[in-house]
Structure 1
Amino acid sequence: MGTSQRSDILGEILKLDILWTKKLVTSVFQHIPFAKLRLYCKCLEISCNGIAWLAGWLAFIWIVDSKSLYEMQLNLLFGLILDIIVIAVLKAIFRRRRPAVCSDMLTLGPDKFSFPSGHASRSAFILMFFIVLSPVSEFLWMPIVSWTLSVCLSRILLSRHYILDVVGGMGIGIIEAFIVGLLWIGENAASNIINYLTNDYLPGGEE
């Protein structure tokens, strides 16, 4: 298969992606006015923001100083950092433009681009982390699944991404969870790292 033929096939796939994304958004808004969904979608966008998660998780590690949580805390932090790096690199490579550039959205750096969706990858990674890698109570599984699916759908409804951007992002999030599982930081190593980062091993720190 020649380069030209592959480009034609990719072009057709992207056209179908745009078409089906528009059909999905139109279908949803025929039943639920955008004004009613906008606030909900915006809250979902903020709830899975990469900077908010990274800053919030660092604060959580600093504030909740419990050795029983060190392993979980550090591995999730590793996954969040990995996700930010992977998505930034892939967006810089593919450079697919978003469906629309909104005035209420950060558009600096790789966030100008659409594929893959960082919100989708992050939410999928968090889902896999708390259900497979470091399972929480089964009572919380359904809320986490619902949040993940809602975040992914909201990316399309807010015209932040096309369907393939979101599907690709979810796939990348699952792969990231697999990588974190392979490179899992054990309890002793996690404890040593967090103690060092929280100054427990530095002059003036706790002994």
Structure 2
Amino acid sequence: MDLLQPEDKRKVPDVLQKILRNDIKLTKKFVENSQRITALRSLANHAKFLEVSCHGIVWLAGWLTFIWLFNNSEMYQIQVNMLIALFLDIVVIAVIKAFVRRRRPVPMNKLIPGNPDKYSFPSGHASRATLVAVILIYIEPISIIFYPPLIAWVTSVSISRILLERHYILDVLGGIGIGLIEALFMSMIWLSQSGSAYILNILSDEKRDGGEFHV
């Protein structure tokens, strides 16, 4: 079984070939057995909603709208840093996908719509959900009452990528790992309140209330 398309000229090591074949078998078995588990069957029914809830374009557009609607100096830091994180995730995932070039699964359920793009590893939804959750829990903590639904969302999004047959299990695990690394990187470059206000001032091309930005 060739795991690369004919145009791909790279030689995949035998060990990696074996790992990928086992990943395909395990993923298919997981999807098939999910129909026998009530919780997973219920999750599958909401998989499309979960897909949209963590889509890159939806998050970017939604976050830019959030920045535009809520001009509050207390929010500048999370607004700017999360925007940088979202752009970072999109770029990182795109580069890795272009390098790895693993094909997406062929859905066993023929009613499932066509895949949004042809490359599978890593899962951008899993990385994005993980990145957002780590930022809101550890880097710029929100109220603890939102932790359970946030963690449940990340878990549901990750599992739904497999149930929708958008990704293999390794793709999702890889996405989660990359999301954690991205969050670690963001914690190291996290912009201050003044730095965030300065960037928003440049983006909006208008003076904002607060400190040296007040007119």
Q: Same fold (TM over 0.5)?
A: yes
Do structure 1's residue 104 and structure 2's residue 116 form an aligned pair? no
Give the Å deviation of 1:193. Answer: 1.0
1:22 maps to which of 10, 28, 42: 28
> In structure 2, what residue type is equivalent to 1:132?
Y
How many pairs are equivalent?
198
Give ranges in structure 1 of 5+ residues lacking alignment.
none
Q: Do structure 1's residue 142 and structure 2's residue 148 form an aligned pair?
A: yes
Find the partner of 1:57 among 59, 63, 67. Answer: 63
Measure, in 1, the Cα distance between the counterparts of 2:114 and 2:56: 13
Distance 1:35 1:104 in 2: 18
**Corresponding position: 1:71 with 2:77:** yes
What is the rounded CA distance, in whole Å, between the counterparts of 2:59 and 2:29 in structure 1?
A: 32
Cα displacement (A) at 1:88:
0.2
* Structure 1 residues 33 and 130: CA distance shift in structure 2, 3 A: closer
Match of 1:155 in 2: 161
Amino acid at match of 1:104: P
Q: Deviations over 1:69-110 (max 9, x none)?
A: 000110000000000000000000001001126873563xxx
**1:143–1:122 CA distance, 2 compared to 1 (3 A):** same
| Structure 2: distance between partners of 1:198 and 1:134 | 23
What's the RMSD between the two structures over aligned residues?
2.3
How far is 1:167 from its partner? 0.1
Give the aligned residue type for 1:112: K
Give the helix-richer structure, 1 or 2.
1
Q: Kindly provide the CA deviation profile for residues 104-143 of structure 1, in whole angstroms up to 9, marking residues without a partner as x.
A: 3563xxx310000000000000110100110011110010
CA distance in 2, matches of 1:63, 1:81: 20
| Residue in structure 2 matching 1:181, options 165, 183, 187 | 187
**Structure 1 range deviating more: 144-153 or 189-198:** 189-198
CA contact (8 A) 2:34 2:41 kept: no
Matched residue, 2:197:
191
Which residue of structure 1 lines up, in the alignment, with residue 130 of structure 2?
124
Listed as ranges, the gaps of 5+ residues in structure 2 are 1-9, 209-213
Identity of aligned residues (%): 44
Q: Mean alpha-carbon deviation: is it higher for 141-150 or for 95-104?
A: 95-104
Q: Secondary structure at the match of 2:36?
A: helix
Structure 1 CA distance for aligned equivalents of residues 60 and 85 of structure 2: 10
Residues in 1 aligned to 2:207 and 2:37: alpha-carbon distance in whole angstroms: 58
| CA–CA distance in structure 2, aligned partners of residues 128 and 16 of structure 1 | 30
Asked if 1 retains the 8 angstrom alpha-carbon contact of 2:115 and 2:166, the reply is no
**Structure-2-length-normalised TM-score:** 0.85
> Matched residue of 1:30: which SS?
coil
SS of the aligned residue for 2:35 comes to helix
Distance apart, 1:37 and its partner CA: 4.6
**1:112 match: secondary structure:** coil
Match of 1:171 among 161, 177, 183: 177
